Amino acid sequence: MESVYIETSMVSYLVARSSRNPVTAWRQQLTKEWWAEQRGQFACVISQEVIAEAMEGDAGMAAKRMAVLQGLPLISGGAESAKLAADLLERGLFPAVARADANHLAVATCAAVDYLLTWNFRHLVNALVLHRLEKFIAERGLHLPRVCTPEELMEI
């Protein structure tokens, strides 16, 4: 069974109140469909970074996010992922404000996860960023997970 790292934006979209913005509402709906119809086809995993981010903000919404995450296996890339995340930041592949995104990618990479599922277009699902990341990760003898949105990971 292929593995999927569930990044925090997925959980946020899953439990958020319906948005008035049509694009956001569409993404929320796709997230719910993927979660209900596709999730069981994958070994879904999370990291401590997902838990930390999910606990931030409004206490009621944090509780909803944590309820969704309950039962998902927790992975760690260990010292190797911490070093990789630091290298990604140091080399400027992620800005300092995107430390959590570097951590998500590093853990998923070091744990050899097949897919990283996210709605983060700024730092993760971005062709320019991914092109640079693929080269950087390959130079280290690692394999970058396929970073994608639920739409890209749905059997249609």
Show me where the domains of the chain are located.
Answer: 3-153
Query: According to the model, what pLDDT value does residue 83 have?
Result: 95
For residue 48, give both structure tokens.
């401590």
> Between these two residues, 145 and 76, which has the higher pLDDT value?
145
What is the per-residue pLDDT across 7-28, written as a single tens digit (0 to 9) for each? 999 999 999 999 999 999 999 9
Distance CA 156, CA 128 (A): 27
CATH 3.40.50.1010 is the classification of domain 3-153? yes
Distance CA 77, CA 104 (A): 10
Which bin fits 122, alpha (ψ -120 to 50), beta or left (φ > 0)? alpha
Query: According to the model, what pLDDT value does residue 146 have?
Result: 95
For residue 135, give both structure tokens.
């080269």
Q: What is the mean pLDDT of the chain?
A: 93
Distance CA 110, CA 10 (A): 21
What is the per-residue pLDDT across 37-65, written as a single tens digit (0 to 9) for each? 999 999 999 999 999 999 999 999 999 99
Query: According to the model, what pLDDT value does residue 154 have?
Result: 83
- Report, as an integer, the average pLDDT of 123-150: 92
